[in-house]
Amino acid sequence: MGNANPAGLGPASPLGGIRPIGQAGDMLMLASLDALMLVALAGIPLSALLAGHRLGRWLLVTLYVAQLGLLVTLAPDTTAHSSRLAFSLLGNPIGWQLDALGWYFALVTIGAAGFAAAFAAGEWGEVNGRQGLSLRWLYGGLQINVLAMLLLLSAADFVSLFIGWELTSWAGLILMLLGGGEAIRAGRRYIVYAIAGGMAVFAGLVLTYAAVGSLQFAALQAAAPSLGTGQLWAIVLLFVLGFAVKTGNMPFHLWQAPAYAYSPGPASAFLGSISARMGLFAIALVAFKLIGAVQLDRLVIVPDWVNLRDLLAWAAVFTAILPTFVAMRQNDARLLLGWHGVGQGGYMLLGLVMADSLGSAGGLLHVFNYATYQAILLMAVFAVIHRTGTADLNRLGGLVARMPLSFLAMLIGIIGLAGLPPMNGFVSKWMIYRSLIIEGMPLLFVATVVSTLGTVLSVYKLLHNTFLGQLRLEHEHVREAPWSMTLPMLLLCVVVFVTGVAPGLVLEYVAIVQQTIGLPAVAYTLGGIESPAGTLDMLWISGVLFAGFGIGALLFYLMGGRSKRVHQLDNYAGGHFLTADVRYQYSDNFYAGLMHRIRPWYRDSFAWAESALVSALGAVSTLARGFFEQTNPAHWAMVGTTVVMTWMMWHALV
């Protein structure tokens, strides 16, 4: 290790477009991508068939293992693997191929789906199925999402990209609507945003076709340097805004948290950990791989001071900060995590738009890291819901002794989310911090740390209000979640820990992705980053940390008197002996002092703007309906025609 360029890799192909097929190796690979798609497709009817039975659900889990295996045989390098699936539209060849960028996101997608499927396979599916949840739709929807995402991730031209984009958007809705009640309102809001984003993407596509005359990726890649600034502005803005709706970047952040949070457990874990990242994938693809960082820097807002990348960086950093503090106010654990999901997306975009080797690697690595710990956290919350029936942070507490494994999973998850060593979230955030400092952007650095500190506060509240503090009497006999639910969580904990201690395992692929999208590859080691301006070696950091814990444990357990453990309900508060039925858990408005100070800063201006827009659209549609419902529309048609004809005659005469 210690090599920036993993063995055997040449420089990134400048065009990276469709490669000629013909070599024997390529034929094998070609078959693999098709096989992967076919298995994913077959998974949909199989889900409908098998999801009703426990054994069937475990078989569906093995189907995800098979998909993961097929994906691994496509091991990424800087070439792309094509699919036989292809057709022609208006003379444009439409096809699919998977490059390293798509592979990396596909890995997280299939992994997340597999873990979600396993989480629901045992008792969770049994119980929720009895309570009326359609497991066929749940498993089918999960597989449809995976297939749609695979189609998006292996898009080889703008048409296949748009097809994948729309399929992904609508597939997400299937999982969201399953929750019923709140979820339906959230889903409706989501789809309005998604359609608006999709229209922006479509407009970008049309504009690209008009400017370049082709819908092939390679055509835009070749033409980007010669595009006029105005054209480039329009194309980039339309695509990036359209994609940013999906990532939930500010100002498009309102839909995401409730839409993901109110889905059924496994669906929520899947959507929360990967779904929004499709937007980041598309931004990396179009803005960086096709158009390129050099071309982006032509888009200057204030000469020599602010360009588009700066603007995006600031939008990203506000996305990292504000939703974090919104998360802190939530009393529903699912919403709290949902809002953090929005905020963490900000880190990824921030890292990516840095477009240097360290920052962009941090942003891309964060996609993987975030997906692993967010899945754990959502699963832990749904495990608690499974046992206690609530995610209300004011109605829980003290479950640590009842559900120790779920507690452990959530603890590792929050250390990852808060970005503290030795979990993987720290590494990706560290790379972004370092990049911001070295690139001379201290304000952005400080802003990201503000977000991280806010996250520490918020996740402690989540952990405290769920597992620490007073145990409620009605939860005295709560049992640990069944192994079918704890095992996926704990396996993911191993991933979070191992990729935190040895981030080189993932950075190897991140470096290839960077080369694929034309960014400088990061200089990584197994333990982290090798750099003259400051190294990070997590093997050592974790080593001394655990040695420190060891010394702390020796001091505590070997020295001094023996401690005597009292029962969890044996408490007194401030000298008052309390019985267990008196509720004194400190949970509501947990950071009262902080909120007292920063509450005036919350003005809900985004929610206000959204409702203003909705009202304005409502007014327009009322007017339009009024027009069509006129008893005599012909009258208006005549007036209109007369006006147009008068205008035309006027022009003809003058």
Of residues 588 through 627, those in contact with another protein by CB under 8 A are 590-594, 596-597
User: Hey, which residues between 391 and 410 contact another protein (CB under 8 A)?
Assistant: 397-398, 400-401
SS3 395: coil
Instruction: Indicate which single residue of 66, 192, 237, 449 sits in contact with another protein (rule: CB under 8 A).
Output: 449
Q: Hey, what are 650's tokens?
A: 């006027």
**In terms of DSSP H, where are the helices of 213-332?**
217-223, 229-247, 256-261, 265-270, 277-283, 293-296, 308-329
**What is the spatial distance between Cα 321 and Cα 300, in angstroms, rounded to a whole number?**
25
Instruction: Indicate which single residue of 24, 55, 566, 623 sits in contact with another protein (rule: CB under 8 A).
Output: 566
Q: Does 544 bind another protein (CB under 8 A)?
A: yes
DSSP assignment of 80-100 equals: -EEEEEEEEETTEEEEEEE-H
Q: Does 453 bind another protein (CB under 8 A)?
A: yes
Q: Does 584 bind another protein (CB under 8 A)?
A: yes
Pick the closer one to another protein by CB: 494 or 555. Answer: 555
SS3 470: coil
**Chain length of the chain:** 654
Q: Are the beta carbons of 499 and 506 closer than 8 angstroms?
A: yes
Q: Does 454 bind another protein (CB under 8 A)?
A: yes
Question: Which range touches another protein (CB under 8 A), out of 476-484, 502-510, 531-539, 607-615?
Answer: 531-539
Interaction mask 487-526, another protein, x per CB under 8 A? ----------------------------------------
Residue 421 identity (one-letter amino acid): P
Label residue 426 exposed, middle or buried (CB < 10 Å: 0-12, 13-18, 19+). buried
**What is the spatial distance between Cα 398 and Cα 8, in angstroms, rounded to a whole number?**
53
Pick the closer one to another protein by CB: 215 or 493. Answer: 493
Residue 253 identity (one-letter amino acid): H
Q: Does 551 bind another protein (CB under 8 A)?
A: yes
Q: Does 463 bind another protein (CB under 8 A)?
A: yes
Q: How many CB atoms lie within 10 A of CB 316?
A: 29
Pick the closer one to another protein by CB: 334 or 461. Answer: 461
Instruction: Indicate which single residue of 87, 483, 540, 627 sits in contact with another protein (rule: CB under 8 A).
Output: 540
**What is the spatial distance between Cα 77 and Cα 285, in angstroms, rounded to a whole number?**
16
Pick the closer one to another protein by CB: 296 or 447. Answer: 447
Q: Does 470 bind another protein (CB under 8 A)?
A: yes
Give yes or no for a cis peptide into 422 (omega within 30° of 0): yes
Instruction: Indicate which single residue of 132, 181, 303, 561 sits in contact with another protein (rule: CB under 8 A).
Output: 561
Q: Does 434 bind another protein (CB under 8 A)?
A: yes
Instruction: Indicate which single residue of 112, 415, 496, 506 sits in contact with another protein (rule: CB under 8 A).
Output: 415
Q: Measured from the CB of residue 416, what is the shortest distance to another protein in angstroms?
A: 13
Q: Are the beta carbons of 504 and 526 closer than 8 angstroms?
A: yes
Instruction: Indicate which single residue of 479, 564, 603, 651 sits in contact with another protein (rule: CB under 8 A).
Output: 564
Q: Are the beta carbons of 176 and 262 closer than 8 angstroms?
A: yes
Q: Measured from the CB of residue 545, what is the shortest distance to another protein in angstroms?
A: 4
Q: Does 548 bind another protein (CB under 8 A)?
A: yes
Q: Does 299 bind another protein (CB under 8 A)?
A: no
Query: Cα 357 vs. chain centroid, distance in angstroms?
Result: 22
Q: Does 635 bind another protein (CB under 8 A)?
A: no
Q: Does 337 bind another protein (CB under 8 A)?
A: no
Instruction: Indicate which single residue of 14, 225, 552, 633 sits in contact with another protein (rule: CB under 8 A).
Output: 552
Q: Is the dihedral of CA 86, 87, 92, 94 positive or negative?
A: negative
